[in-house]
Amino acid sequence: MILVTGGTGLIGSHLLFHLINNGKTVRSNYRTEASMEKVHKVFGYYTDNPSVLMDKIDWVKADITDVGGLDSLFEGIELVYHCAALISFDPKDYKTLERTNVEGTANIVNLSLKHGIKKLCYVSSIAAVGPSIKQQEVTEENEWNEAKANVYGIAKYNAELEVWRGSQEGLPIVIVNPGVVIGPGFWKSGSGTFFTYASKEKTYFIPGGTGFVTINDVILAMTQLMDSSIQTERFILVNQNMTYEELFQKIAPKLGVNPPTKEVSKFMLECFWRWDWVRSNLFGKRRKLSKAVAKGLYDQTTYSSEKIKSELDFTFEDLDKSIEFCCDKFIQQT
State the helix-helix crossing angle for 244-255 and 319-333, rounded to 10 degrees.
Answer: 50
Fill in the DSSP letter of residue 126.
G
> What is 2-187+210-239+302-318's CATH number, 3.60.130.10, 3.40.50.720, 3.90.220.20, 3.40.50.10800?
3.40.50.720
CA–CA gap between residue 123 and residue 180 (Å, rounded): 13
Mean pLDDT by 10 residues, the chain (334 residues): 96 97 95 90 94 95 90 94 92 92 97 97 96 87 90 96 97 98 92 93 91 98 98 97 96 96 86 79 75 73 96 96 96 84
CA–CA gap between residue 3 and residue 81 (Å, rounded): 6
Local structure of 282: helix, strand or coil: helix
Local structure of 4: helix, strand or coil: strand
pLDDT of residue 265: 85
| β partners of residue 242 | 210
Sign, CA torsion 159/165/171/175: positive
Domain ranges across the chain? 2-187+210-239+302-318
- The CA-atom distances, in angstroms, between 259 and each of 39, 234, 321 are 30, 36, 18
pLDDT of residue 276: 76
Q: Edge to edge, what strands does the sheet with 240-243 contain? A: 180-182, 209-214, 240-243
pLDDT of residue 314: 96
pLDDT of residue 310: 96
Contacts of 188 (CB under 8 A, 6+ apart): 196
Q: Are 259 and 248 in contact (CB under 8 A)?
A: yes
The amino acid that residue 279 corresponds to is R
Contacts of 143 (CB under 8 A, 6+ apart): 130
| Alpha helices (runs of H) in the chain, residue ranges in sequence order | 10-21, 33-44, 50-55, 94-97, 104-114, 151-168, 192-199, 215-227, 244-255, 266-283, 291-296, 306-312, 319-333
| β partners of residue 175 | 122, 234
Nearest-CA neighbor of 183 among 93, 83, 299?
83
CA–CA gap between residue 257 and residue 271 (Å, rounded): 29
Q: Are 242 and 212 in contact (CB under 8 A)?
A: yes
Q: Are 113 and 80 in contact (CB under 8 A)?
A: no
Q: Are 150 and 292 in contact (CB under 8 A)?
A: yes
Q: Are 314 and 238 in contact (CB under 8 A)?
A: no
Contacts of 146 (CB under 8 A, 6+ apart): 154, 157
